[in-house]
Amino acid sequence: MRLLVTGGCGFIGSNFVRHVLEHYPPTYVTNVDALTYAGSITNVAGLAETYGERYEFFHGDIANPEQMETVFRQHRYYAVINFAAESHVDRSIHSPRNFVHTNVAGTSVLLDMARRHGVQRFVQISTDEVYGSLGEEGRFTETSPLDPSSPYSSSKAGADLIALAFHKTYGMEVLVTRCSNNYGPYQLPEKLIPLMLIKALRNEPLPVYGDGLNVRDWLHVEDHCRAVVAVLFEGKPGEVYNIGASNELRNIDIVKRILAHVGRPESLVSYVPDRLGHDRRYAIDWSKIHRELGWKPIRSFDQAFPETLDWYLENRSWWEPLLERLES
């Protein structure tokens, strides 16, 4: 069985590729990534040497039909798992066009290729941000209305709808997952947790949007990978599955935990003007995937969060070159 994983050099995608190769020995993986700022070949370093012919990499843009035609002609794929995405909200506010290109047009190209080349399953990896913002109570369910607030989340909502339309129109086995905020190793240094950790190490001000009371539900990337595997093999075509961990924390509390972990004062916190369209609270109801597929998160935040911080402290040689590229 061969899987086509797109965006497999990004944060979540690279963790998924490693997870599948390690835990499912019969599986072959083709990793397609455009290697933009969001993806790095260092995220999958050593996989070809470790797994031999079970792993291969193709440098390409999922929105380029000619390149994707080449990829789909190479093998008979059981499934496409589409992690490829422009995912940084701030970047989407400043330059929406790139997000439409990759997240909408790219997903459309992949779906069309999968349909024409007889791929059995297509898993679209999405986000809880497509639901918009919650008040102080309640959680997003799979039937919550889509109400995206940023160009990023709007592009992901559009991709979800296109994917589900391919199921309704062509009968393709399409499934959509919507996860909460991920944390873990190999996350790009511009994201909240590694960014704040790096600034704390440098004794630089830690910029916190607004009052810092925005709430996110934090999910360890390993738990997310396990959930995607469950959906891939056991999920019902045409369905959406929410993936969360019931770890609701305010942004400022995350920042303070980071400061405490590295022994830096809270005086480094610097409140800055809030981001445009900044959603106040996300919270995921993941009872459907637990009820239907038996999945549940197993990584405790109190244990996995400091382990994640320690990973970045021990792997400066991984993130320092990436940070230089982002800052240049």
Alpha-carbon distance of 253 to 136, in angstroms, equals: 17
List the one residue out of 49, 29, 322 whose CA is nearest residue 186: 322
Q: Which long-range contacts (CB under 8 A, 24 or more apart) does 256-261 make?
A: 257/305, 258/193, 258/196, 258/197, 258/200, 258/206, 258/309, 259/200, 259/206, 261/197, 261/306, 261/309
Contact yes or no for 184/219 (Cβ under 8 A): no
93: helix, coil or strand?
helix
Q: Can 129 be counted among the known catalytic residues?
A: yes
pLDDT of residue 150: 86
Residue 226 and residue 19 in contact, taking contact as beta carbons nearer than 8 Å:
yes
Per-residue model confidence as pLDDT tens digits over 204-235:
999 999 999 999 999 999 999 999 999 999 99
- How high is the mean pLDDT of the chain? 94
Q: Where are the domains of the chain?
A: 2-184+218-246+283-298
HEC profile of 19-72? HHHHHCCCCEEEEEECCCCCCCHHHHCCHHHHHHHHEEEEECCCCCHHHHHHHH
| 69-96: pLDDT as tens digits | 999 999 999 999 999 987 666 676 666 6
The larger pLDDT score, comparing residue 171 to residue 325, is at 171
216 CB-contact burial (10 Å; exposed 0-12 / middle 13-18 / buried 19+): buried
**Percent of the residues in the chain that have a pLDDT greater than 70, as a whole number:** 97
Options 33, 61, 86, 128, the catalytic residue? 128
pLDDT reading at 133 higher than 80: yes
At residue 263, does pLDDT exceed 80?
yes
pLDDT band, very low/low/confident/very high, at 99 (cuts 50, 70, 90): confident
Q: Which of 86, 129, 222, 223 is an active site residue?
A: 129
Q: Is-catalytic flag, 209?
A: no
Q: Which of 51-55, 75-79, 140-144, 275-279 has the lowest mean pLDDT?
A: 275-279
Q: Which of 28, 131, 152, 241 is catalytic?
A: 152
**Whole-number Å distance between alpha carbons of 220 and 296:** 12
Per-residue pLDDT for 113 more than 80?
A: yes
Indicate the pTM of the whole model. Answer: 0.95
Map 232-286 to HEC letters. HHHCCCCCEEEECCCCEEEHHHHHHHHHHHCCCCHHHEEEECCCCCCCCECCECC
Residues 6+ apart with CB under 8 A from 234: 292, 293
Give the tens place of pLDDT for each residue, 10-65. 999 999 999 999 999 989 999 999 998 778 899 999 999 999 999 999 999 999 99
270 has a pLDDT exceeding 70: yes
Asked if 186 is an active-site residue, the reply is no
**Can you tell me the mean pLDDT for 148-169?**
94
Predicted local distance difference test score (pLDDT) of residue 149: 85
Q: What three-state secondary structure class fits 171? A: coil
| Best mean pLDDT range from 83-87, 100-104, 274-278 | 100-104
CATH superfamily label, 2-184+218-246+283-298: NAD(P)-binding Rossmann-like Domain (3.40.50.720)
User: What's residue 239's pLDDT?
Assistant: 98
CB 174 within 8 A of CB 237: yes
What is the H or E stretch that residue 219 is in? Answer: strand 215-220
Q: What is the per-residue pLDDT for 92?
A: 63
Q: Mention every residue, 6+ apart, whose C-beta is less than 8 A from residue 163.
A: 107, 111, 122, 124, 174, 176
Instruction: Provide the pLDDT for residue 100.
Output: 83
